[in-house]
A and B are shown apart, each in its own frame.
Chain A
């Protein structure tokens, strides 16, 4: 393969050799493995972006009720608060988080979303890419290229570690989504591929060890709020990388460490709903109430 890469180092080498950014390398790689045209592949990503946009707005415009009933209405609440211009973390951050909350509400209500990389972490990438795109005044094409750059980072994690909460905890799941988002935004802001990977590395470092403990086993809580954390993490890491801050530990080594941490997590903290918040008195009560009428 001309555009294949096994790790971050090889990806950076490809970018240098071909004088392309990460998103462009990812598109060329996709053309190579699928045999399809650049136009077709970019069109496919455009469709994903449109689904993301719709899901990011839906919960802001309407209050959504989730299937399990544990979440709903949070996106709208934060968005309303954000309009008052008194927020602590700033309007851009709050807008991005509100969008991520919305996508997770759509997900939990059995609406249409794009798993990125999973359904449980599907709010982060849209929240960050769409909102940063507004700030950066990015074109549609730049959004699409940003998503391809993000997919390169997700691919690195899928190839060398895991994106599954059941395998690596929430660090693997929302951690990867946030690392993808930060790398994508760095590229959209004109940063180098190296900066993108530094952003991704810093993002992972911030959530190393994060457990996956869904209440009643549902992809609702704390998943939704961890998507909010993922947005904040991605945006802060992107700004750090763009300012020239580097991750002391290279991306590939961070991913390897993340996998080792995930493997060391007891099964109770890996999406089994047998530990963490799921087994607090409230978590157990919710679970009992939800599953009282058996199927």
Chain B
């Protein structure tokens, strides 16, 4: 079980009014930005359940766009995020949607990147500002962003996992949690590795270049105060 900090109780310091509808929404936007590596040409945001119902009053729309722009939950600019987006030419669109049998505070981002590539990210705000990313590009997974996280996309074949964990050991990284996901046998698979320590960029490059089978590796580093 997670050890709560005193600042999980008194905190986060945030822009109101709701930790799940504002701070959590902001964090979901921030995670989507990280997963897209900051490369967002246009974001279409699908709001489900309670997110769709009480969006405006809770500032959920502003909080989500703020997250996508890299504005944090405690930054006063969160309030003006839609204006900031419009002024800077950041394209966004909100749609209400039924995303199925998912948490009531669920959102799906469809992100168009500068290369023309489209990325789909779904996540839920599960209370107290905590979130879970539940799907990336149709692949169901679980990602909280509470720990520095590394995601790899690799070929589903023997030995890749041990090569990756071996390299992490070489870099002195202690793995806290690790999950492996795939669509079906032999196809693309993903590893979500949550660690005690931040991943430096050298690790991403090493994994991509030195491990046969790893197609992509990217880290999502969330440290205290950055959410």
User: Which of A33, A217, A219, A220 contacts B53, CB < 8 Å?
Assistant: A217
Q: Is A150 touching B61 in the complex (CB atoms < 8 A)?
A: no
Known: A112-B74, A114-B14, A148-B6; 6 extra A-B contacts, CB below 8 A, are: A108-B17, A217-B53, A218-B57, A219-B18, A290-B57, A295-B96
Minimal Cβ-Cβ distance residue in A for B14: A115
On whether the beta carbons of B5 and A164 are closer than 8 Å, the reply is no
B54 interface hit (Cβ, 8 Å): yes
CB-based contact B16/A122 at 8 Å:
yes
Return chain B residues, CB-CB under 8 Å to A150: 9-10
User: A155, B129: Cβ atoms under 8 Å?
Assistant: no
Is the pair B10, A218 in contact by a Cβ cutoff of 8 Å? no
Total residues of chain B contacting the partner, CB 8 A: 41
Q: Mark A184-227, 1 if CB is under 8 A from B, else 0.
A: 00000000000000000000000000000000111110000000
With A120-B18, A219-B16 as known contacts, state yes or no: A147 contacts B10, CB within 8 Å.
yes
Bound: A44/B4 CA distance, A: 16
CB atoms of B14 and A217 under 8 A apart = no
B206 contact set on A, CB distance < 8 A? none
Q: Is B167 an interface residue (CB 8 A)?
A: no
Q: Chain B 1-28, CB within 8 Å of chain A: the 1/0 string?
A: 0011111111111111111111100000
Mask: chain A, 92-131; 1 = CB below 8 Å from B; 0 = not: 0000000000000011111111111111101001000000
Q: Please provide the chain A residues from 27 to 60 with a CB less than 8 Å away from any CB of chain B in the complex.
A: 27, 29-30, 33-34, 41, 44-45, 47-48, 51
Nearest chain-A residue to B47 (Cβ)? Answer: A295
Size band of the interface chain A makes with B: 35 or more
- A residues touching B (Cβ–Cβ < 8 Å)? 1, 4, 26-27, 29-30, 33-34, 41, 44-45, 47-48, 51, 66-68, 106-120, 122, 125, 147-148, 150-152, 154-155, 158-159, 163-164, 166-167, 180, 216-220, 273, 290-291, 294-295
> Distance (Å) between the CB of B54 and the closest chain A CB?
4
In whole Å, how far is A204's beta carbon from the nearest beta carbon of chain B?
A: 16
Bound Cα distance A162, B17 (Å)? 19
Q: Which residues of B contact A118 (CB under 8 A)?
A: 19, 128
Cβ of A193 to closest chain B Cβ, rounded Å: 16
The answer to whether B94 and A295 touch across the interface, beta carbons within 8 angstroms, is: yes
Question: A151, B10: Cβ atoms under 8 Å?
Answer: yes
Q: Looking at the complex, which one of B12, B58, B61 makes contact with A115 (CB distance below 8 Å)? A: B12
A164/B127 contact (C-beta < 8 A), A119-B18, A119-B23, A151-B6 known: yes
Beyond A117-B9, A147-B10, whether A110 also contacts B18 by CB under 8 A is no
A and B contact pairs by CB, cutoff 8 A, 23 listed: A1-B3, A26-B6, A34-B5, A48-B13, A67-B56, A112-B74, A113-B15, A115-B13, A119-B16, A119-B18, A119-B19, A120-B19, A122-B16, A151-B6, A155-B6, A164-B128, A166-B20, A217-B54, A218-B17, A219-B18, A295-B47, A295-B55, A295-B61
Q: Does B78 belong to the interface (CB within 8 Å)? A: yes
- Judge whether B76 is part of the interface by a CB distance below 8 angstroms: yes
In the assembled complex, the CB of A64 is this many whole angstroms from the nearest CB of chain B, namely 11
A-contact 0/1 string along B83-100, CB 8 Å cutoff: 000000000001010000
* The one of A33, A108, A120, A216 that contacts B5, using a Cβ cutoff of 8 Å: A33
Instruction: Provide the bound-state CA to CA distance between A29 and B4, in Å.
Output: 10
Q: Are A67 and B15 in contact (CB under 8 A)?
A: no
The answer on a CB contact under 8 Å between A218 and B54 is: yes
Query: Could you tell me the distance between the alpha carbons of A113 and B4 in the complex, rounded to whole angstroms?
Result: 20
Is the C-beta of B79 less than 8 angstroms from some C-beta in chain A? yes
* Residue of A41, A122, A125, A220 most packed against chain B (CB within 10 A): A122
Contact A111 B16, beta carbon cutoff 8 Å: yes
Considering the chains assembled together, what is the distance between the CA atoms of A106 and B7 in angstroms? Answer: 20
Residues of A within 8 A of B54 (CB): 216-218, 273
Cβ-defined contact, B17 with A67, below 8 A: yes
Known A158-B4, A217-B57: A114·B10 in contact at CB below 8 Å: yes
Shortest distance from the beta carbon of B74 to any chain A beta carbon, whole Å: 7
For the complex, what is the distance from the CA of A148 to the CA of B5, rounded to whole Å?
11
CB neighbours (8 Å) of A151 from chain B are: 6-7, 9-10
Q: Specify which of A67, A112, A147 is in contact with B57 (CB 8 Å cutoff).
A: A67
Given the known A-B contacts A67-B57, A68-B57, A114-B11, are A219 and B17 also in contact in the complex, defined by CB atoms under 8 Å? yes
A155 touches B9 (CB 8 A): yes
Q: Is there an interface contact between A116 and B9, defined as CB atoms closer than 8 Å?
A: yes
